[in-house]
Chain A
Amino acid sequence: MRRAIVGAALGALLVGGILLSAVLGQFPVSPTEVVGSLLRAVGVANDWAPADPIAESTLWVIRFPRIVMAILVGAALAAAGAVMQAIFGNPLAEPGVVGVSAGAALGAATAIVLGVAAVGDYAVAALAFAGGLLATLLVYFVSRANGRTEVVTLLLTGIAVNAFAGAGLAFVLFVANPASREQIVFWQLGDLNGSLWHEVVVVAGVCVVGVVAAVLLGRRYDLLALGERNARHLGLDVERLRIASIVLVALLTGVAVAFVGIIAFVGLVVPHIMRMLLGPRHRGLIVASAFGGAVLILAADLLARTIVPGAGLPIGMLTSLVGGPFFFFLLWRQRRRSGGWA
C-alpha cells in the first residue's frame, strides 16, 4: 500500500515536473502545445500542436533534451548513491561527498585540456569514468577496516580525495586556454544548460544499464547489511559484488558528471528519504531512488533556470545549498545515536 502511494506520488511529480519544465521559460509555450507536439512526434495528427516553428524548436532543441538529461542524471546519481551506501554499509556515503564526482570531473577536464574531447563525447565520458573509478577504489580501500566502514575514516578520505581532485582541477584550469577554462568552470558548478540529443543518448544508455544492474543486485545488497562475514556465510561472493558495484558507481557517476558537471548530495538526500518512506530493502529502494532523483533534479533545474529572470543559476550550487545542511543533519543524528563518531 505504502509502495503504491509512494510510486503514484513519484509518477505524478515526474509527469508534473516534465510538463512544467516544458512550459516555463523565456519563450512561453502552453501545456496543450506541449502535449500536441509530443503527440505529433509519435505520429498522431492533432490541433493542439504548435503552428509556430519557434515554439516547436524551443521544445525539441532546447527544452526536451534538457528535461530528459535532468531525469537521467538524477536517476543515475541517486541510484549510484544508494549502491554506494549499500557497499559501504553507511548512509553517509555519496559520490559527491567522498570525491567520486570530483575525480570524474578531473577526468573530464583533463580530456578537454588534452584535446581528447575532439575525439567525441565518448572520450570525455570514458575519462570521467576512469577518474570516478580511481576515486571510488581509493576511497573504498582506504576507508574499509574489518569489513566495515568507519564514518570518520570515510569522511576524512573524502576530504583528501576532494582536495586532491580540486587541486587537479585548479591545475588544469591554470594550464588551459580561455575557451577550455569556461568549460572547466562548468564542471565545478554543474549545469544542464545546452544539453544536446546526442549527449542524452550516451547518458541514457549507461543510466538504463546501470540502474537495471543495480536493481538486479538489490537482494545481495540486503545481505551485505549483515556485514561481510555474515553475508559470505549466506553464500554471497562479496569480492565480486564489491568490484561490480564499484564499477557501477563509477559508471553512473562518471557519465552524469561528464555531461552536466558536479551535482552533489542527490545521492545522499534521495536514498535517505526513500529509505524513510519505504524501508531499507534495496530493490525497491534503488527503483524509488532513481525516480526520486529524476524528480529532484528536474525540480532543481526548473528552479535554477527560472528563479532569476533571464539568467540560469548553476544547478550544482542549488543542490549543495540544500544538500549541505541536510548532510549536516544526518551527521548530527548519526553521532547522537551512536554516542560518538563511530
Chain B
Amino acid sequence: MSDPVIRAEALSVVLDGRTVLDDISLEVVPGEVLALVGPNGAGKSTLLSVLSGERVPTSGQVLVDDRDVRTFSPLELARRRSVLTQDNSLSFPFRVIDVITMGRAPWTRTDEIARDGEAITSAASRADVTHLAGRRFTELSGGERARVSLARVLAQDTAIVFLDEPTAALDLRHQEDVLRIARDLALAGRAVVVVVHDLSLAGAVADRVALLSAGRLVAVGAPSVVLTADAISNVYGLPVRVVDMDGRPLIVPQR
C-alpha cells in the first residue's frame, strides 16, 4: 500500500462546548475511495471539512503530504485537493461552461493551463453535463446543478478529491454515474473521500468505510468488515439485515 496523502492525528472539534469530533485518527491513501458514514449529526461533514483543511480542529492535526495542512496557502491547497460541497447556489447567472471553467482557476499561470480545454471537456462529459454547457446555471434543476458542480470539481483535477454527499439530489442513473466516477478517480491513483448517507451505496463504492457515531470513529476498514448488522443496528438504533451481494454488503432495515 502506498504512503498516505492525508494523515489525521487525534482530531477533536468542540463547538459551543459540544464535542462534534472526538479523538479521530485516520489515513487516506492514493488509489482508494474512503466513505464516511454515520447517522445525522455524527460529524461526517465536520470531519470532511477538517480533512480538507477548511476547518481548523480544536486539537490534533491534519497532514497533507506529511505537511501540516495549516501551512498551505489557499492556492497551494486548491492544487492538491478539490471539494464538492452541498452548496450549489450561484450569485449571478453564469453559464454552465463558465462554472466548470472556474474549476481550472487554481492552475492559472501554471503550465497546467495548456490542459484547460481537455480537462473541461472531459469533466463535463463524465458528469453528463456537456449538453447543458450553454445554459444558465441559475435556470437548472437541483440535480443538474449538483452535476455541474461535480464537473467543476473534476475539472480542478487534483490528487485528492472530497465529495460531500454527491448523490443527494441525483436520480438513480446519475447516482450510479457518481459512484463510477469515484471508482475511476481511485483507479487513476487519486485519493477520494466521500460522505454518503446510503450505506449500500457506501458498501458498493468504497474500498474502506469509516463509521462514525456521535463524533467518534466506531470502525474503519473494508465495507464487509465494518458494515455488519450488529454495528449498524447499534449506531443507528435500528435493526437491519445485511445481505451479501457479490461480496458487497447490502443493508436493508428490518421491517
B-side contacts of A279, CB under 8 Å: 93-95
A-side contacts of B75, CB under 8 Å: 235, 237
Of the stretches B32-40, B83-91, B112-120, the one at the interface is B83-91
A-side contacts of B79, CB under 8 Å: 235
**What 1/0 flags go to A265-300 for Cβ under 8 Å of B?**
000000000010001110000000000000000000
Please state if B105 and A235 are interface contacts (CB–CB under 8 Å): yes
Contacts A223-B102, A227-B89 given; indicate if A237 touches B94 (C-beta within 8 A). no
Sorting the interface of chain A by its residue count into under 10, 10 to 19, 20 to 34 or 35 or more gives 20 to 34
Q: In the complex, what residue of chain B is closest to A234 when comparing beta carbons?
A: B105
The residues in B between 118 and 157 inclusive whose CB is less than 8 angstroms from any CB of A are 149, 156
Shortest CB distance A287–B (Å): 16
Contact of B105 among A89, A148, A223, A237 (CB under 8 A): A223
Please state if A222 and B102 are interface contacts (CB–CB under 8 Å): yes
Shortest CB distance B191–A (Å): 16
Shortest CB distance B222–A (Å): 30
A95 to B78, CA, bound (A): 33
Contact of A281 among B74, B94, B106, B108 (CB under 8 A): B94
Please state if B87 and A227 are interface contacts (CB–CB under 8 Å): yes
Total interface residues in chain B, CB < 8 Å: 29
Number of residue pairs across A and B with beta carbons under 8 Å? 71
Shortest CB distance B91–A (Å): 4
Starting from the known contacts A235-B78, A279-B94, 16 additional A-B residue pairs (CB-CB under 8 Å) come to A222-B102, A223-B105, A225-B90, A229-B85, A233-B78, A233-B82, A233-B83, A234-B102, A235-B74, A235-B75, A235-B79, A236-B74, A236-B105, A275-B92, A279-B95, A280-B93
A-side contacts of B3, CB under 8 Å: none
User: Residue among B75, B79, B102 with the most chain A CB within 10 A?
Assistant: B102
Please state if A235 and B77 are interface contacts (CB–CB under 8 Å): yes
Please state if B92 and A280 are interface contacts (CB–CB under 8 Å): yes
The residues in B between 61 and 84 inclusive whose CB is less than 8 angstroms from any CB of A are 73-79, 82-83
A58 at interface, CB cutoff 8 A: no
B-side contacts of A148, CB under 8 Å: 89
B-side contacts of A90, CB under 8 Å: 91
Majority DSSP secondary structure for residues of A touching B: loop
Q: In the complex, what residue of chain A is closest to B108 when comparing beta carbons?
A: A219
Q: In the complex, what residue of chain B is closest to A91 when comparing beta carbons?
A: B92
B230 at interface, CB cutoff 8 A: no
B-side contacts of A280, CB under 8 Å: 92-94
B54 at interface, CB cutoff 8 A: yes
A-side contacts of B102, CB under 8 Å: 222-223, 226, 234
The residues in A between 202 and 257 inclusive whose CB is less than 8 angstroms from any CB of B are 219, 222-227, 229-230, 232-238
> What are the 8 closest A-B residue pairs judged by CB atoms, nearest first?
A235-B78, A280-B92, A89-B91, A235-B75, A235-B106, A233-B83, A225-B91, A234-B105
B-side contacts of A89, CB under 8 Å: 91
B-side contacts of A234, CB under 8 Å: 78, 102-103, 105-106, 156
